[in-house]
Structure 1
């Protein structure tokens, strides 16, 4: 292996010190940065790797930086839970380095460095630079080491060289770059030691031959503690998968079809079948567990605690809290009477936006990372499949509310069709376990109330309408 491929990290302390004031101003403005509204009190390097030297026409730096922020106010902790309590996060950055920035890269500007090793240079978000990202794909095509970084790929998948790169504008908790409408790189932004389920689960599903989930073609991770550190101490950083060119995002498709007055129940049923197929393959690929009385009580108690915190933070939720609590009590009671459930690995954050319909009409599921705000270990725990089902049922409700054209009964019909499609494959309709499903739907709606109250107050009526129904009769039927 060449010296360039194994070159150690640059002087990370000095380099980060020169970038410190720029990153403190730039990071909080990014959509994927947690803890908005609270300043960064400490910025420190975890690892800095020079992928291209600054003396090149365009330098490229890979950074893992740890930020520390003041603890959140008590009311924010109540509103956001553990995510707000955690004042320390590690972020992955790809930074371009140039003497001068051409006009087409002006929106990617981070700032001009005035001191330290990069004094006189301009630094910017490298994902917006097609040349740098094309070179980064070349690095991903070659398995091996580069400083603390480790690159791996599926030997059975051909990744051509010379694919044009373009960054996707719709960033959420991560960032994505498309290569020639053939592959897509998902770059994890907030990272932590351990196996990221967005790589783990698609790899296991690929081994099973599951065509519902794009199979990883290449991926990379970091071992800041050294090459001998075990997998559970490595930081998962990103994955390259086939790009489903021409695919329709389930959320956008649903809104378009509502707007045209077209029936979506056929698609909802197909998504239900796809969900059940993925659940079946995950259960075959990874261990399942039985949830007995003690485990069910823990689940119900956790749901009740989240409800209590939410009601403290959102006054509009308080009148419904006693009735909502009965959903969790009913679940605990069934567990106490000896009923058990099977738990397995699931998607963890399933909604219409995580479903893609290919031009041939087939549906795929993507983004298996789970809820990024939750600890990684928690996201990798086996869960009842009702968690994913509840997420999809709530997503239909959101789509009905979001559409410009009112469609009475749309969400109710789609929820029913989705459950029928699920039963087509699984052999059982999720609605035949109403206590488990109601508990998970209620937990999801409570989470939505917290989120909307904090981030999108105008959307608060959506989960509150579901809360009203769930508190009133235990069903999720609506009149959208």
Structure 2
């Protein structure tokens, strides 16, 4: 094992974007190339990790190299590598502003460097000469904001095939949909074994002066809790009008996705497959969250209703991971972000056609979360619980009304599929909370009690 793989073995498990936490490593290899030989030097490395359980992952790690250590970059320091009589010091290049400009230069020029290929989406949209500032809130990817003009997202875990985020945005660019941030370009890397290239990164128009949907929604909930004798529709921070506009924005994006990407009517066997997959996920979740057993029979009945459903569905490309944290409100409306789907799922499954109700269910779950997240602090406060339910119901209804008005379809009627999608998402949430925030587990469990007909 060389010095660089030793550094990666120590450094990668500590990164937020690393998805293999807790898994034992059996081996690690890397290959790299120079993307820019300026000062600092910029190299890009594919790090292949083999786990003791037989699994494998490949991660993309850009490094900046300096002849001397930099105190200003101590937060980005990875380690030193000896070579040719002196040490070179490696830094996380995404946190080194002086090494961020080459990404945009290569995109603007449509360059190919080693196995990496840069593809601009249009003419003259890419701002050159700006350094990028890292977005610190991300988890599975790493993004850089270039001034007020563009945002560059690096996909850390590499998989063969075009990332859905690029694919969907590239298709929607033809529609001029006002609810997306236009794609400016993307980057791919050849597969060393001759397979399909993997998507490395994408560049989009940056949305300045925008507010995160989750923060706006939870601020509205706090306003409601602060007013002891007012209902949700009487509070100054009422969010329902925004929820209605968000529903309309979702319907608009769904319609344009259906217009420019494949669609097909759902065959009868699709319903049975969806129900079977949900039931399998429930069985696996019960092993992690035993509290789910109390609701398991009711949840299975919800899933069984899908297997025998005759509800008409036109399958299409969907967002796949829609929630309040994936939307931004601007002065003119809502922007929907991150069409890559659930990052933990294989890329091929994220590109499959699905029902738009999957996205509607994700947003309805997010309204429940926004309403109930503060109940974690006072779980026995029945008055606050009542007000949370009132806020959630009001905003769920407003979202559905906005979607219906824009599309002519009521997404939240008596739909067995929507109910099942909500339950499936809540089961996923139970596993996530049990592993990461056990004190939040009550939120999806309470929702499952309602969805399973026990509350």
Give the aligned partner of residue 344 of structure 1: 316
Matching of residue 17 in structure 1 with residue 17 in structure 2: no
> What SS is found at the alignment partner of 2:65?
strand
Matched, 1:50 2:34: yes
Which residue in the other structure is 2:228 paired with?
Answer: none
Determine whether 1:185 maps to 2:152. yes
Is residue 18–residue 118 contact of structure 1 (8 Å, CA) maintained in 2? no
State the distance in 2 between where 1:215 and 1:27 align: 32
Report the 3-state secondary structure (helix = DSSP H, G, I; strand = E; otherwise coil) of the residue aligned with 1:472: coil
Match in the other structure for 1:74: none
- Deviations 1:216-256 (CA, angstroms, capped at 9, x unpaired): 11211011348xx67xx011011110110110010111122
Q: Displacement of 1:384 after TM fit?
A: 0.5
Q: Is the 8 A contact 1:18 1:119 kept in 2?
A: no
Does the 8 Å contact 2:164/2:351 carry over to 1?
yes
Matched, 1:248 2:211: yes
Is residue 268 of structure 2 the alignment partner of residue 293 of structure 1?
yes
Corresponding residue number in structure 2 for 1:309: 284
* 1:437 has 2:422 as partner: no
Give 1:169-184 correspondences, 5 Å limit.
169-184=136-151
Q: What is the match of residue 427 of structure 1?
A: 408
Aligned to 1:155: 122
TM-score, scaled relative to structure 2: 0.91
Alignment partners' CA distance in 2, 1:223 and 1:271: 38
Q: What displacement does 1:88 show? A: 0.8
Contact 1:354 1:365 in 2 (8 A): yes
Give the match's secondary structure for 1:156: coil
Gaps spanning 5+ residues in structure 2: where? 225-236, 378-383
Q: Deviations over 1:380-426 (max 9, x none)?
A: 00001110000000001111123489543111111010000000111
| Equivalent residues in 2 for 1:73-92, closer than 5 Å | 87-92=55-60
Verify: 1:109 aligned to 2:77, yes or no. Answer: yes
Q: Distance in 1 between matches of 2:408 and 2:127?
A: 42
Deviation beyond 3 Å, 4+ runs, structure 1:
116-119, 403-408
CA contact (8 A) 1:157 1:217 kept: no
The CA distance in 1 between the partners of 2:101 and 2:374, in whole Å, is 38
From 68, 77, 88, give the equivalent of 2:50.
68
1:237 correspondence with 2:205: no
Please show how residues 387-398 of structure 1 align to structure 2 within 5 Å.
Answer: 387-398=358-369
In structure 1, the partner of 2:21 is 36
**Partner residue of 2:247 out of 268, 272, 289:** 272
Question: CA shift at 1:118, angstroms?
Answer: 9.8
TM-score, structure 1 as length reference: 0.87
Q: Classify 1:52/1:157 alpha carbon distance in 2 versus 1 (closer, same or farther; 3 Å).
A: closer
Deviation readout 1:307-332 (Å, 9 max, x if unpaired): 11111221111111011100110111
Q: Give the Å deviation of 1:168.
A: 1.0
Report the secondary structure of 1:92's partner residue: strand
What is the distance in 2 between the residues matched to 1:258 and 1:314? 28
Quick one: distance in 2 between partners of 1:224 and 1:314? Answer: 39
1:310–1:70 distance in 2 versus 1, CA, 3 Å: same
| Cα offset, 1:271, TM superposition | 0.6
Deviation of the 1:292 alpha carbon: 2.1
Q: Give CA deviations for 1:9-46 in whole Å, capped at 9, x if unaligned.
A: xxxxxxx832111110110111111121223221123x
- Count of aligned pairs: 433
* 3-state secondary structure, aligned to 1:278: helix
Shift of residue 119 of structure 1?
6.2
Q: Which whole-Å CA distance do the structure 2 matches of 1:390 and 1:118 have between them? A: 60
Q: Give distance in 1, aligned partners of 2:46 and 2:117.
A: 14
Calculate the aligned-residue CA RMSD, in Å: 1.9
Contact 1:18/1:117 (CA < 8 Å) preserved in 2? no
Report SS of the residue matched to 2:199.
Answer: strand
- Aligned counterparts of 2:365 and 2:317: Cα–Cα separation in 1: 20
Instruction: Determine the C-alpha separation between the residues in 2 that align with 1:401 and 1:100.
Output: 50
Equivalent residues of 1:293, 1:340 under 8 A apart: no
> Residue deviations 1:82-118, cap 9 Å, x none?
xxxx72111111111112232121000111224x679
Which residue is equivalent to 2:295? 320
Q: Distance in 2 between matches of 1:459 and 1:17?
A: 43
- Contact 1:398–1:462 under 8 Å retained in 2: yes
Contact 2:135/2:144 (8 A) holds in 1: yes
Task: Give the distance between the partners of 1:377 and 1:269, measured in 2 at CA.
Answer: 32
Q: Is residue 466 of structure 1 aligned with residue 447 of structure 2?
A: yes
Distance 1:348 1:157, change over 3 A: farther
- 2-structure distance, mates of 1:113, 1:282: 48
CA–CA distance in 1 between the matches of 2:25 and 2:88? 24
- In structure 1, the residue matched to 2:229 is none
